[in-house]
């Protein structure tokens, strides 16, 4: 018991489902899919006695208490946090513990949500059009970058490791001829030792997209974002 509310903690030394490989096929985000396949055990923190008569304030209080309890169990062995009520899964990152200890843990977890990795076919017409626009307008990015006329200068390009390739955003540090240098702007789904902040270089010929925030605070570029969102919607419907 915690106050007047009973809570239950489960700890199970086996996967959440009988066949994680098969169950993961319905997960759109490739990063979440990989982590779900890898898990070998799970534990849950549940509030008991919550029903239709439970007020929104009481439910929020339950989440605050449960999240703080959950934070005490968080360590390097944790892969994902799953919230059944919202069907949301969150990969563990440097902000997770702080989010769990906040006054609104669900909103805080959402704010720390890692960018999804969504599969998009190479011959998708929306993606092909978006990539063509990004490459055609590349001189705009270079001019703004060289003049420091904005911030958060980033490109998206394929990065490979051991036979696996992911299109991932990079924070640009230099543009030299036909090479672009930068740091991974988010954690990859399955690129071995590469992680958020790893330094890489990519060929300009592999450019997939670019974006930055101009001096007026407006997003420039980001041509493929709509194509990725549309692909995500199609996967959700299938």
Predicted confidence (pLDDT) per residue in 184-202, tens digit: 988 888 888 998 899 999 9
Q: How far apart are CA 32 and CA 191, in angstroms?
A: 14
Cα–Cα dist 175/43, whole Å: 47
Find the mean pLDDT for residues 37-41.
90
How far apart CA 84 and CA 91 sit, in angstroms, is: 15
Cβ contacts of residue 218 below 8 Å, gap of 6+?
none
Percent of the chain whose predicted confidence (pLDDT) is above 70? 91
pTM assigned to the model:
0.60
179 pLDDT band, cuts 50/70/90, is very high
Spell out the domain ranges in the chain.
7-111, 125-237
pLDDT mean over 57-62: 90
In the predicted model, what is the mean pLDDT of residues 135-150?
Answer: 96
pLDDT, tens digit, 9 for 90 and up, residues 94-131: 889 999 999 999 999 888 776 666 667 777 888 899 99
Task: Tell me the average pLDDT of the chain.
Answer: 87
Q: How far is CA 13 from the centre of its chain?
A: 27
- Which residues, listed in sequence order, are joined to residue 50 by a DSSP beta bridge? none
Cα distances from 169 to residues 23, 114, 182, 223, in angstroms, run 28, 12, 9, 13
């Amino acid at each position: 018991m915690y106050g007047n509310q009973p809570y239950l903690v489960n700890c199970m030394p086996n996967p959440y489902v009988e066949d994680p490989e098969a169950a993961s096929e319905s997960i759109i985000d490739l990063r979440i899919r990989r982590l779900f396949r890898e898990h070998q055990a799970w534990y849950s923190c549940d509030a008991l006695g919550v029903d239709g008569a439970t007020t929104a304030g009481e439910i929020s209080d339950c989440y605050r208490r449960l999240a703080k309890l959950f934070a005490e169990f968080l360590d390097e062995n944790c892969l994902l946090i799953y919230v059944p009520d919202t069907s949301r899964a969150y990969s563990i990152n440097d902000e997770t513990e702080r989010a769990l200890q906040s006054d609104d843990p669900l909103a805080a977890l959402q704010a720390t949500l890692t960018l999804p990795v969504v599969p998009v076919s190479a011959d998708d017409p929306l993606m092909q059009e978006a990539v063509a626009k990004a490459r055609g307008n590349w001189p705009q990015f270079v001019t703004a970058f060289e003049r420091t006329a904005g911030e958060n200068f980033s490109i998206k390009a394929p990065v490979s490791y051991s036979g696996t390739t992911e299109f991932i955003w990079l924070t640009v540090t230099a543009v030299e001829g036909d090479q672009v240098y930068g740091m991974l702007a988010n954690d990859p789904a399955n690129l071995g030792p590469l992680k958020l902040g790893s330094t890489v270089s990519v060929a300009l010929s592999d450019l997939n997209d670019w974006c930055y925030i101009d001096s007026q605070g407006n997003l420039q570029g980001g041509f493929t974002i709509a194509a990725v969102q549309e692909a995500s919607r199609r996967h959700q419907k299938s």
